[in-house]
Structure 1
């Protein structure tokens, strides 16, 4: 029984070793993407078009904009916000969304 357990544990460790963990968001890259694509309207977490819909934590929460919502909004746009699908990669969008959430948590 001991040898069988050793073999099974070894197999599990090999399989788990092949599974790549999800890539962590690159906040520095997200900041660069934000600066180049978002800051004109959202510098400092503000919104120059609709001031009440800022990127501040309270406004994000009020409008139900969690990480997935921000990714969706950046990807697809809405109203005055342009869609960035096709202009930014999925990784760029994920990083900028994570940057926005991190900055909102810090209070911009």
Structure 2
């Protein structure tokens, strides 16, 4: 009986983690207002007015290996190419909130 229970728990755990969305640690609702104030001029609706091929859509984030909370936080903090760095403008908590919002919106399809 213990073996069966152990196997069931193991299978449940494997299935839960295999099909889970990325872990979101920040507050997406706070991130939404920060995104609107700081990012929407270039990224309204998950688009990218500077480089239209690199959107915030899930498929593009995955394609460019950016579908990851830490990678998005780093890009927000450090900037890249035409994107300015926000590390001096936003707190680490605010950056986490914005990154969480971006991932949640990408998951929803913006």
Q: TM-score range by the shorter chain?
A: 0.7 to 0.9
Offset at residue 25 of structure 1 (A)? 1.7
Q: CA deviation at 1:97?
A: 0.1
Pairing partner for 2:94 from 70, 92, 103: 92
Larger RCO: 1 or 2 (CA < 8 Å, sep 6+): 2
Q: Deviation at 1:62?
A: 0.5
Q: TM-score, normalised by structure 2?
A: 0.76
How many pairs were matched up? 85
Gaps of 5+ in 2: 1-24
Measure, in 2, the Cα distance between the counterparts of 1:86 and 1:50.
24
1:1-108 to 2 correspondences below 5 Å: 24-65=25-66, 66-108=68-110
| Deviations, residues 14-36 of structure 1 (Å, cap 9, x unaligned) | xxxxxxxxxx4211100000000
The CA deviation string for residues 56-78 of structure 1, in whole angstroms up to 9 with x for no partner, is 00000001111111000000001
Runs of 4+ in structure 1 over 4 Å off: none
Using the alignment, how far apart are the partners of 1:49 and 1:59 within structure 2? 15
Cα offset, 1:87, TM superposition = 0.3
- Deviation, structure 1 residue 40: 0.1
